[in-house]
């Protein structure tokens, strides 16, 4: 997705989720980034090392579960959590009113934040992003600034607090999802306010937003960051002076707070990246149901990719039939794809109206957790390995250890690794995580003319059986014999 922003005579292509094209010239900006790139404080270092995260979309939209009275909202609503915006011939009569009264039924009898947190811990996620309020505006915390909140439901209690406390107790960092956009807030408008009355109303909305965000920081000081959403409308984009000051205020109130690139834009409307191509926030937050195809696209920025299990649909969906739902192997591939490029993968769960995860989510959590128990050292705290891309899977690296997570096992059981001839360290030993067998490692200088690489083969045991991706852990060190001296013939 890209937005062309015209600045004077300079048309700046604000490219997200694709190759980054830095503008030829830099322009004077008043509303560019507030924090320096590549923060090295404890919160951002933790972010860089998470590897795997969990998103939880939960709210009154969990009650219908993407259908109503047996009629599916598929095709009528953009996604399950958008069901209030259900349109088209199947939209139930008087639907908005029905939806806006669902909170009177919200009483999740099985909700147990500690059970959720244990499952997340078992799965191996290191952070969790939780929806405090989605586009419908229903707040899962006892906000003083709106009556449309959890205290008015039969459940009454502060769900955000229960979740923050339970996850923090399990050592899982909590980020709070906050939708700026509020469909049923009379002071919200998508278009930029024009008349004095519209401006007065929208100013009230901006203050309300600021009050709720300060309230969340006050109530839940243990959180590590905000995950903002619903910031694409002209009204919010036009409020760049307000949003700039608000970001500064939030950061001052909560030192170390982590905010992604979705919160605000510069004075030319450039979002995620300002008109000079600089990241607007602490990490790139544009990767949603999409993964970067080349490491260079990331331009050295921190990032995470948020991913649904069904094709789209973040809130609870009763019926997954007829949809491709991602398998454990799909998720593991996306996870290793992400961490091989210095990113985190965030898998979304949408609990039902009673507070239970979908059975398909329980299964994925269990299977991912079983894989992480054996292989997580190739996921946590690793970095991109600057090697020619492997056809067998994904490289990650930690100091002198190279991990190759194999998804495509070679039929000859030879895992061939290309190493630049000028490299100072080469593979000297290898094992498969979860086993103790030392694997044969040999230098196979196949001598492709003009090839800048040489090759090392790790021989996989014929009797090593695997039904899922496995990780080869490779020790890198100085070449051990003269023949391995990595020279290039003079040409």
79 binds ligand FHN (CB under 6 A): yes
140 contacts 133 by C-beta, under 8 angstroms: yes
Angstrom distance (rounded) from CA 355 to CA 113: 9
DSSP state of 193: P
81 binds ligand FHN (CB under 6 A): yes
Nearest residue (CB) to ligand FHN, 23 versus 313: 313
**Judged by CB under 6 A, how many residues of this single chain contact ligand FHN?**
7
Nearest residue (CB) to ligand FHN, 230 versus 355: 230
* E strands present in 188-249: 225-229
Please choose, out of 75-83, 208-216, 273-281, 415-423, the segment that lies near ligand FHN by the rule CB under 6 A: 75-83
Tell the smallest beta-carbon distance from residue 288 to ligand FHN (Å).
5
Tell the smallest beta-carbon distance from residue 290 to ligand FHN (Å).
11
Q: Which two tokens stand for residue 458?
A: 């790790």
Which positions from 222 through 241 interact with ligand FHN, judged by CB under 6 A?
229
Nearest residue (CB) to ligand FHN, 170 versus 229: 229
Tell the smallest beta-carbon distance from residue 308 to ligand FHN (Å).
8
Q: Which two tokens stand for residue 438?
A: 């030392």
Nearest residue (CB) to ligand FHN, 81 versus 173: 81
- Pick from 142, 49, 133: which is nearest to 377 by CA? 49
307 binds ligand FHN (CB under 6 A): no
How far is C-alpha 27 from the chain's CA centre? 30
Which positions from 312 through 331 interact with ligand FHN, judged by CB under 6 A?
314
Nearest residue (CB) to ligand FHN, 6 versus 234: 234
- Pick from 165, 161, 134: which is nearest to 219 by CA? 161
Tell the smallest beta-carbon distance from residue 233 to ligand FHN (Å).
12
CB atoms near residue 421 (< 10 Å): 14
Tell the smallest beta-carbon distance from residue 261 to ligand FHN (Å).
13
* Residue closest to ligand FHN, measured at CB: 314
Q: Which two tokens stand for residue 394?
A: 């994904």
Out of 306, 307, 335, 415, point to the residue binding ligand FHN (CB under 6 A): 306
Please choose, out of 79-87, 145-153, 211-219, 321-329, the segment that lies near ligand FHN by the rule CB under 6 A: 79-87
Tell the smallest beta-carbon distance from residue 194 to ligand FHN (Å).
25
Nearest residue (CB) to ligand FHN, 31 versus 82: 82
Tell the smallest beta-carbon distance from residue 234 to ligand FHN (Å).
16
DSSP state of 388: P
Angstrom distance (rounded) from CA 228 to CA 239: 15
DSSP state of 158: -
Angstrom distance (rounded) from CA 481 to CA 245: 61
Angstrom distance (rounded) from CA 162 to CA 170: 12
> Per-residue DSSP letters for 419-456?
EETT-S-EEEEEEETT--PPBEEEE-----TT-SEEEE
Summarize as ranges the residues that interact with ligand FHN (CB under 6 A).
79, 81-82, 229, 288, 306, 314
């Amino acid at each position: 997705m890209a937005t062309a922003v015209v600045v004077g005579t300079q048309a700046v292509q604000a490219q997200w989720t694709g190759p980054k094209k830095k503008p030829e010239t830099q322009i004077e900006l008043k509303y560019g980034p507030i924090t320096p790139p590549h923060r090295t404080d404890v919160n951002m270092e933790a972010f860089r090392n998470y590897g795997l995260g969990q998103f939880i979309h939960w709210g009154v939209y969990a009650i219908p579960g993407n259908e109503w009275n047996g009629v599916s909202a598929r095709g009528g609503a953009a996604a399950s959590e958008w069901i209030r915006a259900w349109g088209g011939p199947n939209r139930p009569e008087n639907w908005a009113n029905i939806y806006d009264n669902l909170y009177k039924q919200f009483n999740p009898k099985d909700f147990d934040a500690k059970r959720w947190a244990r499952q997340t811990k078992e799965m191996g996620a290191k952070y969790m992003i939780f929806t405090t309020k989605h586009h419908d505006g229903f707040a899962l915390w006892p906000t003083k600034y709106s009556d449309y909140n959890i205290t008015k439901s039969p459940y009454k209690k502060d769900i955000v607090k229960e979740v923050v406390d339970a996850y923090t107790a399990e050592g899982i960092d909590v980020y709070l999802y906050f939708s700026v956009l509020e469909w049923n807030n009379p002071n919200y408008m998508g278009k930029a306010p024009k008349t004095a009355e519209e401006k007065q109303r929208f100013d009230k909305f901006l203050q309300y937003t600021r009050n709720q965000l300060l309230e969340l920081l006050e109530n839940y000081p243990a959180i590590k960051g905000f995950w903002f959403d619903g910031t694409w409308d002209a009204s919010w984009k036009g409020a760049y002076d307000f949003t700039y000051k608000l970001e500064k205020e939030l950061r001052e109130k909560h030192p170390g707070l982590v905010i992604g690139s979705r919160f605000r834009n510069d004075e030319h409307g450039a979002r995620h990246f300002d008109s000079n191509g600089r990241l607007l926030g602490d990490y790139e937050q544009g990767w949603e149901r999409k993964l970067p195809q080349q490491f260079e696209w990331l331009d050295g920025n921190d990032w995470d990719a948020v991913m649904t299990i069904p094709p789209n649909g973040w809130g609870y969906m009763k019926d997954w039939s007829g949809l491709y739902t991602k398998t454990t192997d799909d998720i593991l591939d996306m996870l290793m794809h992400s961490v091989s490029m210095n990113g985190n993968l965030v898998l979304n769960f949408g609990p039902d109206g009673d507070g239970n995860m979908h059975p398909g989510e329980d299964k994925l959590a269990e299977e991912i957790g079983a894989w992480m128990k054996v292989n997580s050292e190739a996921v946590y705290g690793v970095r991109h390995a600057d090697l020619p891309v492997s056809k067998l899977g994904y490289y990650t690296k930690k100091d002198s250890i190279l991990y190759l997570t194999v998804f495509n096992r070679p039929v000859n059981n030879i895992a061939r690794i290309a190493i630049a001839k000028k490299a100072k360290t080469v593979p000297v030993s290898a094992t498969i995580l979860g086993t103790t067998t030392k694997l044969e490692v040999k230098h196979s200088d196949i001598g492709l003319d003009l090839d800048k690489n040489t090759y090392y083969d790790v021989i996989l045991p014929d009797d090593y059986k695997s039904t899922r991706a496995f990780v080869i852990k490779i020790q890198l060190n100085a070449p051990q014999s003269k023949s391995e001296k990595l020279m290039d013939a003079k040409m």
